[in-house]
Amino acid sequence: MLDAGYVPEDIANEAYPRFSSWWGEESAMWSKRAEQFDRLLSHEDKRIQKIGELAKARVEASRESALNREQQEAIHGLGSW
């Protein structure tokens, strides 16, 4: 795909789920997804590494947001903040 003219940013954006379902805490789901990009970070192709970096950063931002929301829900209750 990269040799066909796609840039790492486009591919990383497509790796981000549009719809998803999971069991348990949302932050745990995002943690597992972030781990899936680790193997790209050590790829010999720098473009693949960039895809891993971008995709993992986006997923980790979602994880942080979920952690904050979960913390607020634990303190204040669901939907009351």
Q: Quick: pLDDT tens for 25-58.
A: 999 999 999 999 999 999 999 999 999 999 999 9
Q: Which amino acid is residue 5, in one-letter code?
A: G
Q: Which amino acid is residue 25, in one-letter code?
A: E
Give residue 16's pLDDT band: very low, low, confident or very high (50, 70, 90). Answer: confident
Between the CA atoms of 30, 67, 77 and 81, what dihedral angle is there, to the nearest 10 degrees? -110
pLDDT recorded at residue 79: 67
Give the C-alpha separation, 31 to 61, whole Å: 10
Report pTM: 0.80
pLDDT recorded at residue 81: 52
